[in-house]
Structure 1
Amino acid sequence: MMYSLRVSGLAFAGILLAAFAVSMAFMPRSASAAAVALTNATTTSSNASTTLIKTGQTLSFQLNLDGAPAATSSPQINIFGMGSTTMTGTAGVSTSWVYSTTSASSWTEGNVTFYMAWGGTLGEATSTFSSIASTTLSNVRYDKTVPTLSAVTVVSNNASTTLAKVGDVITLTATSSEGVSVVTITLGGNAATFTNVTASTTWQGAYTVQSGDTNGAQAISVAFTDYAGNDGVTVTTPSSGSVVDTDTVGPVITVTGTNPLSVYASNSTTYSDAGATATDVQDVTASVSSSGSVNLLIATSYTISYSSTDTAGNSSSASRVVTVLIPGSGGAAAPSSGGGGGSYTPISAPTITPPASQQNNSSLIASLQAQLRALLAQIAALSGGSAGFSRDMQVGSTGDDVRLLQVYLNTHGYTVAASGTAGSSGNETTKFGAATRAALIKLQKAAGITPTAGYFGPKTRAYIAANP
């Protein structure tokens, strides 16, 4: 049997259409097609600030594409116009392409510029991306310059700006060649507080002097780093002026001569003080001022005060105690025992010299009073107590023995009257009054003498004889 194949016109037409479709699928696309598109391009560094980089750090790039480049045309990158380099990824598959390199000193400072180019798998036109033309890309800036300092000065808020005492503030001011992010300042080995003054190129470090800080020149140290991490050369000397000297202690005052000092009353009104000297850690010699006076006509204790302030403002003080004695009251040998017995050293009575003119009357009177008190004191000292008291006394009694009793009471801590008034030390009287009785009662109570009535009788005389 013989067969024949018949194809209708409609079926034939279908076969032709299918063949056309297959042939179109294997034809290359037009060069203007855009099958691979850029979605993002980024750049970053291994620096603490990822938009900055210094020499020897890693610079990284990433290219994100919507589609995959051809195996023969992987994305290329060109940095600073130094030649193209292939980025890393999986050809025909990856949408993320990366490249990294290490910055070198041969690079140009400033924003790191680069150029990227890629093509598609179907012969699309080459696409490019330029960091220079971008208005949205965050560039990495290369900084290889070491920062420097200028105008480094150190001053104190002391009246003398080159000296500082406890509580004064030492301030270091400097200007850097560029912005700095890390600054470490020490003054005399002590950490200073860092403060920006204007923008980021002028700044200060301040330190308040403390008790116990080392005296003398305060060495400085300024270590600094720019924002990219380049370390500047540590500065240890001011660019102008000098460092500040710390002085935390006041002058040492030395009182010249004897201290405390005892002198005898005399008719001279002039006391010549030996003075004092002062030394200081900063000043070779410091001036000393004194205040106070001594009246040689009045037997009592006086204080001469000395003060000194060094250049830094530290102050010190000292004093001398000068005691004016009645002749015989301090220099004569006291009786060895009460009752008037024992040996003693005779004391010559002072010579009374009349004035040359009537203009010296007040001085003469004062001198005579001092000499009279001296004589009374000698009598009391030589009498040994009981030898000077031969009778009982009470309120209303008068006489020189009353004065001697008042002298004894005043000199043994039983004050008869307030200083400068009748009955007080140096102003004893011949009248036994209520004040004398009150002082005598204090002595009797202290000595255990009964009755403590303020009556000066045999028991009290015996006590004074035993306790001259």
Structure 2
Amino acid sequence: MAPCLKHSVMFMFSTQHSFLNPHSACLANQEKEVISMWRKVILMMGLLLVLVSCAERQDPETLTLSLNPGVDTIQVGSTYEEPGAVATLGGQNHTVSVVENTLDTDQVGSYRIVYETQYRGTVKRVVRHVDVIDTTPPVLTLNPGIDTVYLNSHWIDAGVSVTDNSGLEVTVEIDGEVVISMAGEYRITYVATDAFGNQAEIVRFVHVIHPSN
């Protein structure tokens, strides 16, 4: 009995040992694959960093030109503060000149300011468009007059004075009537309209009274 038992145990040990070896080899192969994969990932990350660094590195002779921020819509007759433009050469400031400027702040319209920079035959230009508008109504002022008069006497309309930022002609319309034969308070309305349709109005009050008042 003993020899048979020993033979059986040895057979089982031998069988188990033959099953363990392939499993260990499989784990080793998996470890190699994981290591290889991580090496590839690290290599790709390194290449990506190099590409990003190259993209951010500027050519020392790269010439750029751009507008500075500003307010390019102004009221007629106002002062325009030109914000200019900025040029860079390899990241450093470079000379900018104005080669065209049609701006007239006293006239409503659209205008151009052209900026230019040059370097070794390379010329760059940018254009700023400036709009001069008129949305400001005229200014009306009552002229001095005698607006308290006696019944059945005479009233003379002293009128108004008007100014406008455009410097162009302004029309004035008058609405209202004073009945000199009837005591009471009357309204005379003046409406001024400039060349661009902006309006303003002002009212004159006239009192017709009895002589006893």
TM-score normalized by structure 1?
A: 0.25
Higher helix share: 2
Q: TM-score, normalised by structure 2?
A: 0.47
Whichever structure has more strand as a proportion of its residues is 2
Larger radius of gyration: 1
Whose RCO is larger (CA < 8 A, sep 6+)? 2
